[in-house]
Each structure stands twice: as structure tokens, then as C-alpha cells.
Structure 1
Amino acid sequence: MMTEEFKEINPVLLELLAGLGIYGAAAGAAGMVTSGGSLYFLAGILAGLFFAVCLILNMYLTIDTALDLDPESANKYMVRRTLVRKVLTVLAAAVGIKIHMLTFSGIILGVLGIKIAAYLQPLIHRRVSERRSGRNEEVESKMN
């Protein structure tokens, strides 16, 4: 039942979220070591990663909606949605600064995870594709 729901989700989106998870684990672990185990940093990185997931989903839905619009309306819609994301990012950073500098650092590192996830996505896609083709070959060899 759960796999049927995942099949409906764009595989690139899932790979991007997986990349964000990998980055989040690495950045969180490294940050906890360098910050001396600060709960402020931990809260910031978790908030930043959650915010990054929200931004990725918003971008995905924005693109999906814009594809159904005429070019001029799509351009205006994309610009508006981009501005909203930027303003929300600045607000999240401002909240982080008010709480603690390590919280701010964690939020920024979490949000920057979108960029790292974009670089990891092709690698994840390649690994997933290799596994799928490997499974298909394995199944075919067992059938023969």
C-alpha cells in the first residue's frame, strides 16, 4: 500500500529528499561535534532541514502548477512564489538569530542542504537505477 503512494511521487523529488536526509545526517553530526553538542545547534539544524523539506515541496508544487499556466502567467506565478520562499527564509534566519547564533547557524546549514541535495540527486539516481537493473537481471537469471 505504501509503495503505491511512493510510485505516484516524482522519483526526482524522492531522490532530492533522500539527498537532503544524507546531507542532514552528515551536517548534523559534524555540527554537533564542532559545537560541543549544543542543543541550540541541534534545534537549528533540525528546523533548517524541516524548512528545507518545506521549500523543496513548495518548489515542486510551484513548478507543477506553473506548467499548467500560459507562459506569461507562469512567469509571474513563479516570481511571486520565489519571493515568498526568500522572505520566509529570511524570517527563519531572523528567528534563529533571536534564539542563539548556533541556532541561526544550524538553520542556515539546514536550508543550504537544498543545494547539496541537488548535487547528490544524480548520484542517488544512478545508484537507484543500478539497483533496479541489478534486481531485474537477478530475477531474470533465476527464472531461466
Structure 2
Amino acid sequence: MIAKLRANTTLKELIAGAAAYCIVWEIFLLILTERKLYHSIGLLAGLIICVVLAVSMAGSIDVAVTLDERGARAYIQKKASLRYIIVCAAIVLLELSGIGNPLTFFAGIMGLKIGAYIQPFTHKA
């Protein structure tokens, strides 16, 4: 996983964008909320899962391009389902344990989308 991160510039830029997005969220959470730790843990958990998802997607693509069309489709679907299950399990775990806010967790996961949207701009810089 770490070797893949070192070799893939796009992946590093995507993760950097997600982290920047979460830093902005964290600033707002620290200023505007009363239960700072509760919300911050949810956001941090979301960012961690976001990074895991990004690395998993990059690895899935690397493997899928070596397979035939049918095998690649099955492999990608299996990995996507696994990622979906991980996200759902994390949300349920946060909700049941009460340790972090599931909504800020979701905001952290959305860092993956924001990182993907701003990656072309960070690549130019």
C-alpha cells in the first residue's frame, strides 16, 4: 500500500486534496460545534477510510487492466462491493459506539470526491 502511494503521483495529489478539504471542515467544526472531539473523530475516521478507499481503487485499477474484460468487470465489482461494505460498517460502528459523528464521517468520505475534483488543479501547481 505504501509503495503504491509513493509511485502514484495522481493518488498522492488526490489524497492531499482530500486532506485539505478535511482541514477546512475541521476548522469549521472547532469554531462552530460544542462537541468538538465527537465531530472531529467522525471527520478523522472519514478521512482515514477515504485514504484506504483511494488506495484500494488505485490497486483495483492496476489489477483490472491486466485481466480480460469479463474478469476485470467481476474483479472491479467485487472490490467496489467490499469498499461499500467497509463504509457502511464504519458508519454503523460510529453510530452504535457513539464515539464519532456519522455525518462528519460522511463529510470525510466526501473528501475523496473533492480530492478527485481538485486534482487537476493541484497537478498543475
C-alpha deviation, 1:53, in angstroms = 0.3
Identity of aligned residues (%): 28
The equivalent of 1:85 in structure 2 is 83
Deviations 1:60-116 (A, max 9, x none): 000001111111100000001001111111111111212339621221111111011
The two structures, once aligned, show a CA RMSD in angstroms of: 2.0
* 1:35 aligns to 2:36 (yes or no): no
* Higher relative contact order, chain-length normalized (CA < 8 Å, sep 6+): 2
Match of 1:95 in 2: 93
Structure 2 unpaired stretches of 5+: none
User: Partner residue of 1:53?
Assistant: 51
- Hey, what's the Cα distance between the residues in 2 that align with 1:33 and 1:108? 19
Residue identity in the other structure for 1:78: I
Write the mapping of 1:1-144 to structure 2, written as runs, cut at 5 A. Answer: 9-36=7-34, 38-100=36-98, 103-127=101-125
- Larger-gyration structure (1/2): 1
| Aligned 8 A contact 2:5 2:55 in 1 | no
Cα pair distance change 1:37/1:29, threshold 3 Å: farther
Structure 1, 59-68 or 96-105: larger mean CA deviation: 96-105
Q: How many residues are aligned here?
A: 123
| Pair 52,99 (structure 1): closer, same or farther in 2 beyond 3 Å | same
> Following the alignment from structure 1 to structure 2, what is the Cα–Cα distance between the partners of residues 19 and 7?
14
- Report Cα offsets for 1:29-88 as digits up to 9, x if no partner: 112222235211111111110110000000000000111111110000000100111111
Q: TM-score under structure 2 normalisation?
A: 0.89
